[in-house]
Amino acid sequence: MQIKLYSILLLGLAVCSCTNSHNRDNEVELQGTRVKVDSAYYGSYPILLCDSLLFSSSNSTTEKCVISTLTNGYLTGSQKVFNVGNGNDEFHNIAIAKGKNSSLYILDYPMYGNNLLSITHITNTNSIDSIKDSEKWEKHPITALPPFRCVCQTFVSLSDSTILVLGAPYNAIGHIMSVVDYKNQTLTPLDYWPSDGVQGDSLAKHSIYTNNCQIFENRNNRFLYMCGEERFAFIFTIEGKAIKILKELYSVFPDYKCKDDGNYRINSRSGNGLAIDVTLKNIYVFLYKEKLENNAFHRSGNTIEVYDWNGTLEKTLILDKSGDFIKVSDDNNTLYLFDNDLESGEEAIWMYSLNNDK
C-alpha cells in the first residue's frame, strides 16, 4: 500500500476555517528537537500513539502496520505486525483504537468496505512482542451483521462489547455513525444527518461525511467528529440513539454535488485542511494547507489550536518546523510533528515539549 493513505486523505481535506482559527490570543511559539529514527521504521503515516508505542501504516503488502517504541527522543525497535490475509490471525483493512488500561482494539473490514469482519481485543500491550502474540488475542467475528457501508480510519471503544464506528447499514444510509455491539451482533445507527443544504438521504452524502473522516473520545462521554472534506468538526455526546452536538469547532461544509450513481463530485476546494489528535484533557487541531507537487498532493503546516473538551480555545501553538501529521503523548507533555519527504520517502519526526508552553 505504498500509495500513501495520507495522499488519499489529502484529496478530501480542504477549505476555509472556523470561528476560532483567527484568534491569535495566547499564541505560543515552540522550538522542536529532531527525533532519531532507526532504519527499520517504514511507516507512511502515524496512526496511533499509545503510551510509548507508535503505530504507523505499513508500506508492506504483507503486514498492515509498523509498531515502534518512541521515547526520550528516539524511535527504536520497529517491527511489522498484523499480517494480511484471510486466516484467523490475519487482517484486511484495519483501524486501531485504545481501550481501557492501555488495551487495544483492532477493527477489520474488507477493501470494498460494505461490511465489518471482526473486532480483536489485545489486552497485553506491555511490549511489541506481546501485542504480536495472537494466542492472547480475543477475536470476535461480526460478519453476521447486515451490510454496512464504512471506510474506517478511526473508531471508538465504548464498552467491553460496543464500539462507535463511522458508517451505517445500507438500509439506514441517512446516518453517519453507528454503535456496533459485537458480542450481541447488533447495529444501532445514531440519529444525525448534516444540515449542509444538500437534500436527501443519499449514499453520496453519506460518503462525503464518512470517507476519510475521523472520530475521537475522552472516555467521559465526550466525542469529536472531524469531516474528511473541508474544515468541519464538532464535539458531541451520545444520548440514547441520538447525537447531541455540544460545540461546533469548525463550520465549513464540503462543496459537492450528488451524482445519480451514488457517487459525488467535489465542486471546489480551498486547500485548507485539518488533522486532529486528542488526549483525555485536550483536543489538538493541526491546521495545514495542501498543494500539488510533482503530481502528488502534499500538505504542510505549523499551527496547532488547542481546545479543552468543552470546545474552549486555550492556546495556539506555532511550531518552528512544518509537517503533515501530529501525535500527542497520553500524558499531554509531548507533541510530535511528522514530515514525510515525498521524493526520498524519509520520515522526519520533530519533538516539542508542552510543559513550557505557558
Give the integer Cα–Cα distance in Å for 278 and 304. Answer: 12
Which helix (H) or strand (E) element contains residue 107? Answer: strand 104-109
Percent of the chain with pLDDT over 90: 75
The pLDDT of 104-108, averaged and rounded, is 97
pLDDT on residue 295: 72
Give the neighbor-by-neighbor strand order of the sheet with 325-328.
33-34, 347-353, 334-340, 325-328
pLDDT on residue 203: 92
Give 13's pLDDT tier (boundaries 50, 70, 90). very low
| pLDDT above 80 (res 344) | no
On whether the CB atoms of residues 84 and 75 are closer than 8 A, the answer is no
| pLDDT above 60 (res 15) | no
Q: Which of 5-9, 263-267, 277-281, 314-318 has the lowest mean pLDDT?
A: 5-9
The pLDDT of 159-187, averaged and rounded, is 96
How many residues are present in the chain?
358
| pLDDT above 70 (res 313) | yes
Give 24's pLDDT tier (boundaries 50, 70, 90). low
pLDDT on residue 243: 98
Percent of the chain with pLDDT over 70: 91
| pLDDT above 50 (res 22) | no
* Rounded (10°) CA dihedral 264, 286, 127, 219: -80
| pLDDT above 90 (res 279) | yes
| pLDDT above 90 (res 8) | no
* Backbone CA torsion sign across 172, 258, 113, 155: negative
Q: Which of 8-17, 115-124, 316-325 has the lowest mean pLDDT?
A: 8-17
Give the integer Cα–Cα distance in Å for 157 and 103. Answer: 10
Pairing assessment for the beta strands 313-323 and 74-83 based on DSSP bridges: unpaired
Mean pLDDT of the residues in the chain: 89
Give the neighbor-by-neighbor strand order of the sheet with 93-98.
93-98, 104-109, 118-122, 138-141
Give 114's pLDDT tier (boundaries 50, 70, 90). confident
Give the integer Cα–Cα distance in Å for 49 and 327. Answer: 7
pLDDT on residue 94: 94
Q: Domain 5-353, what fold?
A: Neuraminidase (2.120.10)
On whether the CB atoms of residues 116 and 187 are closer than 8 A, the answer is no
pLDDT on residue 227: 95
* Backbone CA torsion sign across 1, 47, 323, 270: positive
- Whole-number Cα distances in Å, 251 to 117, 130, 247, 289: 34, 42, 10, 17
R_g over Cα of the chain: 19
Query: Model confidence over 132-167: pLDDT tens digits?
Result: 999 999 999 999 999 999 888 899 999 999 999 999
Query: Model confidence over 216-240: pLDDT tens digits?
Result: 999 999 999 999 889 999 999 999 9
| pLDDT above 60 (res 326) | yes
Q: What is the DSSP string of 239-281?
A: ETTEEEEEEEEEEPPP-EEE-TTS-EEE----SEEEEEEE-SS
Sequence spans of domains, the chain: 5-353
| pLDDT above 60 (res 358) | no
The pLDDT of 241-257, averaged and rounded, is 96
| pLDDT above 90 (res 215) | yes
